[in-house]
Amino acid sequence: MYLTKRNLSALKDFDNSEKVTLTTDNVEAVKHADILIFAIQPRHFEGILNDLKPHLTKAHVLISVITGFAIARIEAIVGEDNYVVRAMPNTAASVGQSMTCISTNKKGKEKIDLAMTIFNSLGGTSLEIPEEQLQAATVICASGIAFWMRLIRATTQGAVQLGFEAHEAHQLAMQTCFGAASLLKESGKHPEEEIDRVTTPSGCTIEGLNEMEHRGLSSSLIKGINASFEKINQIKNN
Q: Model confidence over 182-197: pLDDT tens digits?
A: 999 999 999 999 999 9
pLDDT, the chain, mean:
94
Which structural domain, as residue segments, surrounds residue 45?
A: 34-129
Overall domain count for the chain:
2
14 within domain boundaries: no
- Counting other chains too, the contacts that 231-235 makes at CB distance below 8 Å and 24 or more residues apart are 232/67, 232/68, 232/135, 232/138, 232/139, 233/135, 235/67, 235/68
Distance CA 126, CA 183 (A): 19
Please check if 7 is assigned to a binding site: no
Say how many CA atoms lie within 13 Å of 59 toward its Cβ. 6
Was 39 annotated as part of a binding site? yes
Task: For residues 174-185, give the mean pLDDT.
Answer: 97
CATH code where residue 87 lies: 3.40.50.720
16 is in an annotated binding site: no
| Residue 41 marked in a binding site | yes
Instruction: Give the orientation angle of helix 204-214 with respect to helix 217-237, to 10 degrees.
Output: 40
Domain boundary among 98, 129, 160: 129
137-173 pLDDT, tens digit per residue, is 999 999 999 999 999 999 999 999 999 999 999 999 9
The amino acid at 111? K
Residues 151 and 212 in one domain: yes
